[in-house]
């Protein structure tokens, strides 16, 4: 009998999204086992753990990276694995680093003429001189390098701006003040060179916040997403363009909104999206006819 390839699943990490990553990783471990791989489960607290694990026997054929957020999704892990010469799933270090930072992401998209809402950048240093009265409200204030809607605030007037900025700046040293988009929200999962069926997200909350993502039972996920085939194909093509603009590969998830006038606005690219059995990429894959086990198998095949 042929020996099963060994895949190591990296999960946990030290970012705010640690708990989600532990759950995503547990699902991936199970999926890979079902798909016939020999799996090393690697729950880690940080990158130093990774160095030790990689040097132990048996050495995996591939690291399946399910670390969300800073440390795992932002190029640091990718750089480390390059140095250690261990192949890994997902985007390389440059695309990971670019995509982690929502300001840099938007600069690239804007430079390429891709639609993303206007924004200001505010740093710890510019906070004192930032003119809150020059802003057209409402806006979304968000840390540049967070995820899971952590540290984000909708701000309706100049009165609440300083406080929102100060709070967002506790999560990162630079934040975005982004024009508020009034419209419907969608996400586009990307697998290989293909966009999967889109998902429409509906929440009674002000926006798709942490509670709506992980706790509420009032969030609705529509897949098929309700757009005409033509409209969906146009957004899928836009998402693929946005994905490639950042140099991303293998997989990812583009968040996008469509305003009342039908204009799409790109929000962000996630290069290590959630992978619990309730997550969005598995949901889109299912609509495309791929089970969770088949999805993780595809990700391995695309990466080796």
Ligand X SMILES: Nc1ncnc2c1ncn2[C@@H]1O[C@H](COP(=O)(O)OP(=O)(O)O)[C@@H](O)[C@H]1O
Please give the positions annotated as active site. Answer: 17, 148, 214, 253, 255, 268, 270, 274
Write the binding mask 233 to 272 for ligand X: x where contact by CB under 6 A, - elsewhere: ----------------------x-----------xx----
d(C-alpha 66, C-alpha 11), whole Å: 5
Residues in a beta bridge with 154: 140
The CB-based long-range contact list for 137-142 (8 Å cut-off, 24+ gap) reads 137/180, 138/180, 139/177, 139/178, 139/179, 139/180, 140/176, 140/177, 140/178, 140/179, 140/180, 140/207, 141/165, 141/168, 141/175, 141/176, 141/177, 141/178, 142/102, 142/168, 142/175, 142/176, 142/178
Question: Rounded to whole angstroms, how far apart are CA atoms 281 and 151?
Answer: 24
Q: Which of 132, 140, 144, 165 binds ligand X (CB under 6 A)?
A: 140
Contact between 238 and 227 (Cβ < 8 Å): no
Q: Which does 297 bind (CB under 5 to 8 A by kind): ligand X, Mg ion, none?
A: none
Residue number closest to Mg ion, CB atom: 255
Residue 147 near ligand X by CB under 6 A: yes
Residue selected from 120, 171, 207, 221 as contacting ligand X according to rule CB under 6 A:
207
Residues binding ligand X: number (CB under 6 A): 18
Our finding on whether 172 is near Mg ion (CB under 5 A) is: no
Closest CB to ligand X among residues 59, 154: 154
Shorter beta-carbon distance to ligand X: residue 40 or 246: 246
Residues that bind ligand X (CB under 6 A): 117, 140, 142, 146-149, 152, 178-181, 185, 207-208, 255, 267-268
């Amino acid at each position: 009998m042929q020996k099963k390839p060994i895949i190591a699943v990296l999960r946990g990490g030290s970012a705010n999204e640690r708990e989600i990553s532990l759950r995503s990783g547990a699902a991936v471990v199970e999926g890979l086992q079902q798909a016939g791989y020999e799996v090393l489960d690697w729950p880690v607290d940080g990158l130093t753990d990774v160095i030790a694990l990689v040097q132990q026997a048996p050495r995996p054929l591939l690291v399946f990276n399910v670390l969300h957020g800073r440390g795992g999704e932002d190029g640091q892990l990718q750089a480390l694995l390059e140095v250690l010469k261990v192949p890994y799933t997902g985007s390389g270090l440059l695309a990971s680093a670019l995509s982690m930072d929502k300001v840099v992401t938007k600069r690239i998209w804007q430079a390429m003429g891709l639609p993303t809402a206007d924004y200001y950048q505010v740093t710890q240093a510019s906070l004192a001189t930032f003119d809150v009265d020059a802003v057209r409200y409402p806006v979304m204030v968000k840390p540049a390098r967070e995820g899971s809607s952590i540290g984000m605030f909708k701000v309706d007037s100049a009165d609440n701006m300083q406080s929102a900025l100060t709070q967002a700046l506790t999560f990162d040293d630079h934040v975005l003040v982004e024009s508020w988009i009034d419209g419907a929200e969608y996400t586009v999962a990307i697998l290989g060179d293909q966009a999967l069926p889109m998902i429409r997200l509906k929440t009674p909350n002000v926006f798709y916040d942490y509670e709506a993502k992980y706790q509420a039972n009032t969030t609705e996920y529509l897949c098929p997403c309700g757009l005409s085939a033509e409209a969906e194909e146009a957004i899928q093509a836009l998402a693929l363009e946005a994905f490639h603009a950042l140099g991303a590969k293998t997989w990812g998830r583009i968040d996008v909104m469509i305003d009342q006038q039908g204009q799409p606005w790109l929000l962000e690219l996630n290069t290590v999206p959630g992978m619990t059995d309730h997550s969005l990429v598995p949901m889109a894959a299912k609509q495309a006819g791929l089970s969770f086990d088949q999805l993780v198998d595809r990700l391995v095949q695309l990466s080796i």
